[in-house]
Structures are given as structure tokens and as C-alpha cells.
A and B are shown apart, each in its own frame.
Chain A
Amino acid sequence: MARRNLIVASFLRQKSLYLLWLMSLCVAVTGLVVVDVFRHSLTETLKTQGRKILTADVSLTSRRTLTEDEEKRLAAALPANHRSARLTEMFAMVSAEKDSRLAMLRFISDDYPLIGELTLRDGGGAQRSRGGRELKGDQAILWVAGDMLALMDVKVGERVRVGQLEARIAEVIAKDSSQTFRFGNMAPRVYMHRDWIAKTGLVQFGSPYSDTLLAAFNEPPPRDLKERLEKDFPDPGLQVTVPADLEQGSLRVLSRLLDFLGLTGLITLSLGWIGVYYLGRRWLSWEATSTAILKCLGMSSREAQRLLLTKLMLVLSAGVVLGGGLAWLGANALLPIVKASLPSEFELVWSWKNTALLLLVGPMAGWVLLLQSITQVAYEKPLALFQERSAARASVSSLLVLLTLASLLFVGLTFLQARSWKVTGAFLGALSFSVVLIALLGYLSLRLVAVYRRAHWGWLLHLSTALWTRRLGTSLLLITVSALAGLLSQLLPHLEKTLVNDLRSPQKTERPALFLVDVQDEQLGDVRKFFSDNGLVSPHQSPFIRARILTVNGASFERSQVGEWSTREDENEARFRNRGVNLTFRKDLSPSETIVSGKDWKDVSSDPAEISVEESYANRLGFKLGDLLRFDVQGLEIDARVASLRKIDWDSFQPNFFIQFPEGVLEDAPKTWVMTIDRKAGVTPPQMQTLITKRFPNVTSINVQETLDNISELVGKMSTGLKTSSRLSLGLGVFVFLIILMFQLVSARRDWSQLLVLGLKPSQIWWLQVVSYGSLCLVGTTLGGILSLAVAWGIFRFAFDTAVNFDVGGMIQIWLLTWTAAIVGLTWLGYREIRRARMT
């Protein structure tokens, strides 16, 4: 009873401290939890909607046509009462009278979709659910996505050409429950019955398509279904997919963004933690006396510790509840903005994992940060009350323990966000380096001021420099907090400008207008002649050979599994192992390729074959120079040794391949060709596409600029998320800065009083505060700005391998904004303290 009253009274009567504490934590956790809510909601959506998205309980996919034998074996391996369907997917051109467009063609069987629904709208606007059987008929008909009609300026009922076949647009897709963001805006969907595949002429040898057998069950499928089927179908070229797998595959694009946002959220959190820790220490310095009094009144140290911990846990729990609530509101407010990039069935859900994260970053973190100090206060002998000895200060060893515990917690959180040891290491390394560098530079600057400080300096400089150098810890903390907030917020303009400029850079005008795939070997001559007749220039033409890696140094190149807790690197490796490999051969390297290690390309031998592997692909799959790889090239086994590793400028949009053979090995292998076409004055890329598709309907052409625009749009969406996140960090940084400042000003109230007594005017004291503390913020934000230049350079140099475009204007704007916010806050706090000092 007494304890409860003590707690309630303390909360009610010291509310400003508790409110500030609450706000620090609340804002600190909000950004991270918003990201976490989206992450888990996506996972949950895919878990619950996974069957609808897959349209089945299990699928077997290959990048070739599945054989009858494989179909029979699959049927035999599944429960007897299963239902089955089939789907063939590919990117191909659809042409109308005026225009041709890239589409995602989906050839479906009668019973598609087995699970979920495909709702269509006819010319009159009526909607109804449909299945593949209704596409069947004597006449070829299509169901097309609504944006396809707009893009090609056609209407329901009109005819379009798909490959060599003319088909009528029967209805428009109103809702497709299998649609995820997996293929993004790359191409709108078009459905057709499988009966028409052959007549389109699109599935030829070497064409890039996937063939999928789908199966659904009336009862829940066995848990080990995937493992069993993978044993039955050991060929790595066959992919068994169950709904749970969609969590990894479909989330890939958004996961990257969420990982990055999560990491910026961690910086916000660490700024918040600085605030929480600082306020915690302030709180404990107040509580120390009360605790000593309570101990004099008979409270044991253990009871005092319990009382302090209860208060701490209550404040932190309230902080995370509020933070969680704010995160939930924030996520709901953001949802309409990002909805277009999410699955149609996406719903925000609150997962137990969000609660666990909140508990981890709130009460748990508070416990780790403050338990030691609380124990110290609770077990301290209340000698200070008898004025003989001051309370003990934290020892270096206890600070080291605290730092270790906090670091471990932070490493754990970072790994949870990034799910990659590489990213975790890089992020924490960069952050630690930045903090150490900021603190070191700050310390050296202040020491320098201390050394060169002179007694004859004017009162303003004299007092300011005394404040900086005699309260070194606080000065360093203020510099570090403002520098960290400044670093993150000033980094963003560089990242955004570089990413956007790189996509639209004037230096990249040599980028082709079109990228052509699926040019058949026997068409090559005709295609070249057609280009020449029409004044089109194709500077790059590369053979495209589909293959599989069977063994590496004699060991089987096995399918690698990923589970719920696999790292991003595991997922990447599994993805690359399981997807087969495209090969090419060429005499000379293209201008976008550079050998980084191993033999020069002109020295490689074709007997035995020596190959060059793209550097990051080799790293991902663990290939080294000298490794012997055995390929299955359309049934023929070929051995080749890794002779060199290459770097590729993928941005060039030239045909490039992960694995490249020298001439003289693969010439006779069945192949298709990929080509690029240069821009031509007076002809737009869509006009070129229409021209080519009319003559070669099987050839798929990709409008490079349109693709870049799509990527640019994605970058825009990403940068909106990043901007919001960095503004939150900036706001919290200023907030924490002002909290620290507020307590500094309060603790110096007697100093302000004395200065008034000594004859300084309030305006002069205010000016002293602005010069003293404002300049610390100025130093911090400037250091943060300079570091942002270095970090941006590092990110693009080492992660993107490209030159950074510094946005100095944007950086200065944010720098000014931060500094102005700090000065406005400082002005208000200073004015308040001077007023109180006059009354002291």
C-alpha cells in the first residue's frame, strides 16, 4: 500500500521528468515498430494468403516444359484425391493496331485457379468469378489487366496479337488473388488458355518461360510434403513451392527496403536510448536522496531496489505501449500511401513479435541500461544524508559491463532487422566508427580549446569556453547526439540524388533504347537484315544458353534449403543455386566488363574450357579461381575451370552474364540471342517495339527507359520511406539534445542567478547560453554533415561500386533546419530558466 502510494505520488508530482522519459522512449520505438508491423503484416498476409497467391497447396516449376513422366510422378506422389492445374508464364509482347506492349502472359488450364479467385469485368461492367475452363473455345480469347487497355488504347471486344496468334479481349481482370508485388509494375497480366500456347509460337527452344504444375488438397497437406517431393524430384532445375515459401520469394523486394528502414529505425532507437539513459540517470540522482530517506525509515535495500525497478518498468512499459500505439496509428496512416506496392489482400496485423520487439527495446533495454545504477542507488549507504561522504560514482568496470550488455542487445536487434551478419557487421562497424570518430574529434576540439583558453578573453568567450571544457562529458554528449542525428538526416540527400541521377544520368545516354530477348538462332540473319533495312543499330548481340550446374569440384551442387531464421545470404545462395544458369560465349569482353582476378580473357583456353565468373555471383556461391564446374547444357555434360573473376557494370544495360565461356566450346549448343538496339532519332522506343513485334512476334522487347522509370518510381517510394524515417531521427535527435540541454540549464540555474547578481542583463545571459550550447550543436551537426559525405561515398564505392553525387544544397538545408530547431528550442528553454533564475 505504502509502496503503491509512493509510486503514484512520484508519478503525479514529478510528471515533467516522467513525461519527457515517456516521450523519448515512445518516439524512439515508433519508427522501428512501424517497420516491424509492416514486416510481420506482410509475412502474415503471405502466410494466410499464401495458398491464394500460389493458387494451390503445392507447385512444381521448371524453366522448361515439364514432361508427361514428371506430371505422372507428381500425381503419384500426392494424395489420391488432389486436384490439379497447370500454368505457363512468360514475358512476351502483345500488339494492337497502334502499339505493342510487354505483358506477363499466363497460359492456364481448365481448373485454374485451384484456390483463390479470378474476378473479371465484361464490357458492360458486370463482374463475376471465372476459371480457366471459360477461356476455352474455338476462338482465342484473352483476359487482360485494366492498365493494359489504357496502355494500348484498346477496348474489350477488340483484337490483339499475341505472338503469331490473333485473340479477342473478352474481359478485364478486376481482382486476381494470386497477384502479389512479385513482378511489380514490370508488365501487366494477360490470361489465355493453355490450348493456344503452340499457336502463339512463343514457346520455342530456349525461350525464357516457366512451366508449373499445381495441386490442391481437400485436407491439410502433410508437413513434410516439400521435403518428400524434393527427394522425389532431386533435379535442382525443378522447384517445389509451398505457400510458406512465398514469404521468402515475394518479400524479397520489399524486404530490402524494410531492412534499410529498420536499420535507420535502429539509429533513431539508439538516439532515443541515449535520451532514456540520460533521463534515467537524472531520475536516479533525484531518487538517490528519497531512497536514502526511505532506508532511514526502515526500507531495506532490496525493497528500495524493487520500488525503483517497479517505477522504471512502469514508465518504460507505458512508453512502449504509447510507442506501440503511435506505431500502429502511423502504420495505418502510411498504408494508403504504400498500398499500391503491397499485395491486394494485405492487411495490417499486430503480431506477438511486434509486442516482443517492444518489450525488448523498452523494458528490457531499460533494465539493461539502468539496472546497475538502480542497484547502486538502492544499496548505497545513505551517508550523503549525514553529509560526510558523497555517493559512490559508477566504476569503469561497471560502465564496461553496461556497455557490453547494451552492445550485445544492439547487435541482436541489428541482426533481427538485417538478417545478415554481413550487413549487421557493416552497419555496426560504420555506426561505431562514426560515434568513436565524433567523440574523438569533439574531445580533441574541446581539449584544444582548454589549452588555448586565455584569461583576457571577453566575458562571453571566457564563460562559454569554461562551460565547454569544465563540463566535458555533457559537451561531448551534446556534440555526439547532434552529430548522429545530423549524420543520418544529411546522408539521405546524397543517397537519393545519386540513385536518381544514376538512373537518369546524362553520361548513360549510350544506354540502349530496347533490350531484345528470345531471338531464335535461325532468326538471327533475318533479324539483322531487318534492322539494317530499317536503320536500326544493334551494337551488342550475345548467345544465350540455358544450363544447370551439376557439380563443383566433383561435389554435387545440391539444392540448398532456407528456413524461417535463414539469413539473407542463405536465401540469396538458395535462390541462385535453384534457378539454373544462363551461359554465353564471346571472343572479347564487352566494354562493361573488367577482369578483377585470374587470367586475362585473351589468354583463356577453350580446351579444356576456362570460364570467367562474375565476382559477386562467385562470392555468393563460394566459387574460387581454379574450381572445376560441370554443366548440363541441354543434356550434354561440359566441364570448365574458373579462370577469372569479372566485375560487370549492370547499369550499362548491355547483355551480360554471370558465367561466360570462351569461343570454341558452346557454339553447337542450342541457343537463342539477346540483343540491344540503340536509340534512333525520330523513332520512339514503343514505335520500335511495334515495328519489331509485327515482324517477329516471338521476340520480346523491353523498353529500357520505361523500365528505368519504373525503377525510378520505386526509388521515389523508397526515398519517401527513408525521408520519413530520417526526419523522425532528426526530430528525436533535436529532442534528446534539448532534453540534455534543459537539465543542463536547470542544474546551472544558480549560475544564471549569480550572473544576474553580478550585473549581467538577461539578454546577455541568453546570448551566453546560445553561444555556449548552440555552438556545440553547430559543431555536432557540421561533423555529422562531413561524416555523411564520407559515409555516402563509402556506401556507393563499396556497396554499389559507383561514384556518389553529393547533394550539398540538400545537405545544407537539413543542416540549417536542425540548427534552427535546436536554437529555437534553446531560446525557449534559456528564456524560461533566466526567468526562474531571477526569482531564485
Chain B
Amino acid sequence: MTLNLTDVSKSFRQGETELRILENLALELRSGEIVAVIGESGSGKSTLLSLLAGFEAPDRGQIAWNGRVTGDWGEDEWARFRKESLGFVFQNYHLIPYLTALENVALPLRLLDQPGAEEKAIGLLERLGLAARASHLPSQMSGGEQQRVAIARALMHHPQLILADEPTGSLDAKTGQDVLDWLFQLLRDRKQTALIVTHSHEVAERCDRRLTLRQGKLWPAGT
């Protein structure tokens, strides 16, 4: 899997003012690599994730997945791409409230109409130590448990890339540490490519590469 962002720019209008969020940004992501993007609030981290997931289109520049330029992709192509190739982990877990842990985890495979979704989901929940919570609704679980379920859901269909947005941002230190252990263990075991947006240097330290988003561009951390 390769991901290339070349000279990507994105701005938003706020009344009369134009906010330039990303400015000629470049990024190359290689297969199996775990990259951390560190940035202050409002630096454009979420915009970057939105561009990578196809929820926003760049004003200028191009994004290429495995050499395919995405500029002319329509909504259906992006939807198919997200379904097959992307996995998301959010800061606030964002599990579907009316589905049980098991159903949430099995959902990506169900949407792909792949057989054996439940069995595979059970396997993953067992691995994450959540087998006893399989039939519980998100509202009946703790934050750490919900985030582990969210991680399982993101990895369930073996996506090409995991996009994680502050995966431990809503958790206390101990629980956050546990969740990170689970996340990195799974990512490493599966040689999974991931881009993790975070404030936390501790999270960033565990990644293969660290980039800082500043003034609309990505810089190697520490520069």
C-alpha cells in the first residue's frame, strides 16, 4: 500500500476571512508503517484526516492511493474505498449506540457482505479481552472498553490504512496506556499501516515516524 499527498492545499471560508488550513502539504506513507502526526489545536490535523477519507476534496494538489489519483473519484468510489480499505478510530469511540459490542465489531464485514462476520468479531473481541461484553450496548461499557471495541471494529476487515484521531484522548492515563498497548500490538502483529493524529508525545513515541503539522505543512518531528 502506498499513499502519496503532493502539494495539497485546503482552506475554509469563515465569513469574509479565508482560513488556510493546509498549504502545499506533502506526505508519503509506506506499507506497514505507523506514522504519528502531532499538531496543536486548529493546525489542520482533522482536515488532513477528512481529505484522506474523501470527506473533503483538496483545493489544490493531489492524493494518490497505490498510484491511483483520487481527484476524479465520485462519492460511490470513495464510499467503496472507505468500506474496503480504511479503518477509523475516533477520540470519542463513536460506536453505534443501538448495536452491541459484537454487532459493532462485525459491522464492517456485514457491510461488505462477507460471511462469518460474527465468528471473526467474537475472535477479535476475545483477543481484546472483551468476550464477556459482546452482548453489551456501548452505554453499558466503560470508556476503555468502548475504545477497544472501536479498535476491533477498525481492524476487523483488514483495511489498508487505519486513521486514528487521538485514540486515547478521552481516557485516563492507565486506561489510555492499556488501550495503546492493545492498539499497537494489533497493528504490529498485522503489519498494519496507520496514521495516528495525536497531541500525546507518548503515543507519538511508539510510532515508526513522527511528523509535526505546522503552518499547513508536515515537518519531521523535532525540526
Interface positions of A (Cβ within 8 A of B): 1-2, 5-6, 9-10, 12-14, 286, 289-290, 292-303, 381-383, 385-388
Contacts and interface: CB of A to CB of B under 8 A. Distances in A.
Contacts of A386: 46, 49-50, 90, 165
B98 A381 contact: no
10 contacts: A1-B113, A2-B113, A6-B96, A289-B94, A296-B86, A297-B82, A298-B80, A300-B75, A381-B56, A382-B55
A779 B3 CA distance: 62
A298 B90 contact: no
B121 to A, nearest CB: 13
A13 B111 contact: no
Interface in B152-201: 153, 165
Of B56, B75, B79, B137, most buried by chain A (CB within 10 Å of CB) is B79
Contact of B88 (A296, A383, A387): A296
B110 A298 contact: no
Contacts of A286: 97
B53 A296 contact: yes
Contacts of A383: 46, 50, 55-56
Contact of B111 (A2, A14, A382, A387): A2
Contact of A299 (B81, B88, B111, B113): B111
A286 to B, nearest CB: 7
B223 to A, nearest CB: 25
Given A13-B137, A381-B56, A385-B94, A298 B103 contact: no
Contacts of A300: 75-76, 79
Contacts of A299: 79, 83, 111
Interface in B81-122: 81-84, 86, 88, 90-92, 94-100, 103, 107-108, 110-113
Given A303-B79, A383-B50, A386-B49, A298 B94 contact: no
A1 B110 contact: yes
Nearest to B94: A293
Nearest to B12: A389
Contacts of B110: 1-2, 5
A40 B95 CA distance: 50
Nearest to A389: B12
A297 B108 contact: yes
B47 interface: yes
A774 to B, nearest CB: 31
Contacts of A302: 75-76
Question: What are the nearest 3 A-B pairs in CB distance?
Answer: A298-B83, A2-B110, A386-B46
Contacts of B84: 298
B106 to A, nearest CB: 9
B47 A388 contact: yes
Contact of B103 (A5, A387, A388): A5
A290 B98 contact: yes
A150 B148 CA distance: 86
Nearest to B90: A385
Given A9-B98, A298-B82, A300-B75, 20 more contacts: A9-B103, A13-B98, A14-B98, A286-B97, A293-B94, A296-B82, A297-B111, A298-B81, A298-B111, A298-B112, A299-B83, A301-B75, A381-B50, A383-B50, A383-B56, A386-B46, A386-B165, A387-B46, A388-B47, A388-B50
Nearest to A7: B98
Given A298-B83, A383-B46, A387-B46, A293 B96 contact: yes
B111 to A, nearest CB: 5
A398 B39 CA distance: 38
A766 to B, nearest CB: 25
A671 to B, nearest CB: 82
Contacts of A296: 53, 82, 86, 88, 94
